[in-house]
Structure 1
Amino acid sequence: MILVTGGLGMIGAHTARALVDLGQEVVVTSHRRAEIPSFLAGKVAVERLDVTDRDAFLALGGRYDVSDIVHLAGSIPGEDPVAFFRTDMTGLLNALDAARAWGVRRFAVASSLGVYLGASETPWHEELALPTADLPHLIVAFKKAVEPITTHALQGSGVQPVVLRIGSTWGPLMDPESPFNAIPPYISAVLRGERPGPLHAGDGGDSCYAPDAGRAIALLMTTETLRHDTYNVSSGRGFTHRELVDGLQAITPGLELDLLPGGQPGPHLDITRLTKDTGFAPAFDVAAAVADYVAWRSGNPR
């Protein structure tokens, strides 16, 4: 059985769904979120768990035969950065304790494309030396620290670390007004009948639809042999606002949206390593992702 912490969040839920589709038994944990997505109902075991509670975390091993762990649980920083780091670090260390105590095969942990910030070479690939750079957010700073902590903590344990450098992911279950990705708020405005502010047609960058991200992580957990400990998880191509607008107009005849000329597409993640080791290829291009997300939102608030 595979344990997914934070398994009712956006990436966690889609990872759990993909694991189930691959024939795996899955237990997900959630601390604050109680609503189970329709696509997981009756298909996974659900445990209420505060991952900062070490005893409660380790007790899961007495109820489930956990073979692998995907640690995606995390919090949103408040005004106190120390409290944020303490909470998420405690959760990570408890998950690592569990991995060692239970003797799992693989331990995957969420990192971020933000670790590459400051790298001039694009697209960003796993063999790049990570630059020293001012990081824009506490979450990115923590994710960058997660990588060596995880790999060092598992040395000599027999547990294979899998560092997930996850790209800019969006889709079903994301906060529709999320400050971390501009796509859901833009589409939400359109769904409300509003005309969102104009975008530059050429702006964009890395983008991955959540079901694709979940499937990539699931493949990394189930593929028999992984040749590396670190993998980029994304679509493997950049997207532009032109594609976003085209996708919305394709499913909404007569929809008028403003696009400004110019723009800068920005860097994106190279997923060659992921594809070679697992056979992953994204199922959604931008147009298909937009259509699927709009259909999902017709019956769901997020």
Structure 2
Amino acid sequence: MTVLVTGGAGYIGSHMVHALADRSEPLVVVDNMTTGYRPNLPDDVRLVIGDIGDQILIERVMRDHDVNAVVHFAGSIVVPDSVADPLGYYANNTVKSRSLMAAAVNCGVKHFIFSSTAAVYGMPDQAMIAEEAATVPISPYGSSKLMTEMMLADSAHAHDFAYTALRYFNVAGADPDGRTGQSSPRATHLIKVASQAALGQRSHMEIYGTDYDTDDGTGVRDYIHVSDLIAAHVLALDRLRAGGDSQVMNCGYGRGYSVRQVVDAVRRVSGVDFEARETGRRAGDPATLVAIADRARAELGWVPAYDDLDVIVGHAYAWETRMAGRNTAGA
């Protein structure tokens, strides 16, 4: 049986592809290559360039490759962009996910893992967030993901499949072996932007909001290494295959770092004192998002291997350095 990875040429999806390939799992990738890059993938992985909203294409891929599980990463992820273009986000994240689910149901796919987000919690009134916390998104991005979770729950109730929705906190870092990382030059991830500033690819970076109710006034997030996140996906797939029920699980370490702390970590790892300018808040950004991830640890047996901010930054910075060298060589 084959695993279909949507968005598998992108940042997080490509790490899943490598993890599955490392286990010699049969797999196929569907990616429209908007933010995906073929060099992120192993050379022998089957890549179908197409859109997950194309249900006819997806059903053909599922049948041609005998797909039994879907790991769904494809989607738009920038919170401020979702505020500016809500209908685009609902189309790309919700409507197209509905088409993917319909294809899965029609083709008898039994297992579905969904890339969800802590943004479904909105502006939580507690510092530590468990899965039972109220889901009141404050951005179209968060709403689009929550709607997809709702469709999954209803579809799993009506049809013969089980799912796991993993609610990511702030994903960062890169493959420790240097095979893949965040390759989109316009990505807004804090550690990537700070690394680019350290490498001189940006004249400066910006700290959005210094008046939050946090220790140093900047936003606090739970940064999880992408390889630890992917380990949770692999374990979730194994659990579903063993007959596990549908679940929603947080993915984070249970420890938060402020924007200033992250900037300091990038300066420390890179040895470069780049400029970080302070400016106003961005729309849709809560003050603090830190996970309670006990469910993932208990249900999956998940044990993070890279729970250290400097390690996360070190892997991200090494990837950005490699990318900078690649771009220079190709210039």
TM-score, structure 2 as length reference:
0.77
Residue type at the aligned position of 2:315: D
Q: CA deviation at 1:153?
A: 1.7
Q: CA deviation at 1:89?
A: 3.1
Match of 2:235 among 219, 224, 228: 219
Match of 1:188 among 178, 196, 219: 196
Q: Is residue 308 of structure 2 the alignment partner of residue 279 of structure 1?
A: no
Q: 1-side partners of 2:260 and 2:293: how far apart?
A: 23
Match of 1:269 among 277, 286, 291: 291
Q: 2-side partners of 1:96 and 1:107: how far apart?
A: 9
1:43-192 equivalence runs, <5 A:
43-75=44-76, 81-130=86-135, 132=136, 135=138, 137-171=139-173, 172-173=181-182, 175-179=184-188, 181-192=189-200
Q: 2-side partners of 1:80 and 1:257: how far apart?
A: 32
Task: Indicate conservation of the 8 Å contact 2:169/2:224, yes or no.
Answer: yes
Q: CA deviation at 1:121?
A: 2.5
Q: CA deviation at 1:300?
A: 1.5
Change (3 A) 1:32 1:118: same
- The residue aligned with 1:240 is 258
- What whole-Å deviation, never above 9, does each CA across 1:84-137 have from its counterpart, x for those lacking one? 42343332122111221222231122221011123312311112232x46x1x3
Q: 2-side partners of 1:141 and 1:127: how far apart?
A: 17
Q: CA deviation at 1:47?
A: 0.9
What are the ranges of 5 or more consecutive residues in structure 2 without an aligned counterpart?
174-180, 278-285
Q: 1-side partners of 2:252 and 2:243: how far apart?
A: 20
Q: 2-side partners of 1:66 and 1:299: how far apart?
A: 34
- The residue aligned with 1:300 is 323
Q: CA deviation at 1:198?
A: 7.3
Change (3 A) 1:102 1:197: closer
Residue type at the aligned position of 1:173: Q
TM-score, structure 1 as length reference:
0.84
Q: Give the SS at the match of 1:256.
A: coil
Residue type at the aligned position of 1:47: V
What are the ranges of 5 or more consecutive residues in structure 1 without an aligned counterpart?
none
Q: CA deviation at 1:142?
A: 0.6
**More divergent stretch after superposition (71-80 vs 187-196):** 71-80
Q: 2-side partners of 1:232 and 1:147: how far apart?
A: 13
Q: CA deviation at 1:42?
A: 2.3
Q: Is residue 314 of structure 2 the alignment partner of residue 291 of structure 1?
A: yes
Task: Indicate conservation of the 8 Å contact 2:7/2:72, yes or no.
Answer: yes
**More divergent stretch after superposition (281-290 vs 1-10):** 281-290
Q: CA deviation at 1:246?
A: 5.0
Q: Give the SS at the match of 1:299.
A: helix
**More divergent stretch after superposition (80-89 vs 55-64):** 80-89
Change (3 A) 1:96 1:65: same
- What whole-Å deviation, never above 9, does each CA across 1:48-77 have from its counterpart, x for those lacking one? 121111111111123101111012212476
Match of 1:230 among 237, 248, 251: 248
Q: Give the SS at the match of 1:283.
A: coil
Q: CA deviation at 1:21?
A: 2.6
Q: 1-side partners of 2:75 and 2:20: how far apart?
A: 20
- Give the paired residue count: 293
**More divergent stretch after superposition (42-51 vs 269-278):** 42-51
Task: Indicate conservation of the 8 Å contact 2:192/2:320, yes or no.
Answer: no
- What whole-Å deviation, never above 9, does each CA across 1:14-67 have from its counterpart, x for those lacking one? 1222222334222111113463234x2225221112111111111112310111
Residue type at the aligned position of 1:36: R
Change (3 A) 1:37 1:119: same
Residue type at the aligned position of 1:35: Y
1:197-216 equivalence runs, <5 A:
202=216, 203=218, 204-216=220-232
Q: Is residue 42 of structure 2 the alignment partner of residue 41 of structure 1?
A: yes
Residue type at the aligned position of 1:277: E
Task: Indicate conservation of the 8 Å contact 1:109/1:162, yes or no.
Answer: yes
Task: Indicate conservation of the 8 Å contact 1:123/1:267, yes or no.
Answer: yes
**More divergent stretch after superposition (231-240 vs 144-153):** 231-240
**Structure richer in helix, relative to its length:** 2
% identity of equivalent residues: 23
